[in-house]
C-alpha cells in the first residue's frame, strides 16, 4: 500500500519568493531552490507513493493579450 504525503507552497520557478521568504534565502538562484525541493521530495516520496500538492505549485507570468 502506498504512503500518502501532502505538501504546498513550493513556488517552483517563482524568483521573487527568494526575496519574500527569508527561509528560502539560502538559495542563490530559483533553479537551485527548485532542484533542492525536487531532490527532497524524491528522497522522501517513493515512486509508488501518492503526493498531494495543496496549492501554490509554481509561478508563471500570465499575458492578458
The dihedral over CA atoms of 13, 15, 21, 26, expressed in degrees to the nearest 10, equals 90
Confidence of residue 65 (pLDDT cuts 50, 70, 90): low
Residues 48 and 3: beta-carbon distance below 8 Å: no
Radius of gyration of the chain (CA): 14
pLDDT, one tens digit per residue, over 29-52 is 889 989 999 999 999 999 999 999
User: Is 58's pLDDT higher than 90?
Assistant: no
Q: Any residues with CB less than 8 A from the CB of 15 and at least 6 apart, and which?
A: 30
pTM above threshold 0.85: no
Measured distance between the N- and C-terminal CA atoms of the chain, rounded to whole angstroms: 47
pLDDT on residue 56: 82
Amino acid at each position: 500500500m502506498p504512503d500518502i504525503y501532502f505538501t504546498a507552497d513550493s513556488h517552483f520557478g517563482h524568483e521573487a519568493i527568494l526575496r519574500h521568504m527569508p527561509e528560502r534565502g539560502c538559495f542563490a538562484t530559483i533553479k537551485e531552490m527548485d532542484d533542492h525541493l525536487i531532490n527532497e521530495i524524491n528522497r522522501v516520496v517513493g515512486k509508488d507513493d501518492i503526493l498531494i500538492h495543496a496549492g501554490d505549485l509554481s509561478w508563471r507570468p500570465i499575458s492578458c493579450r
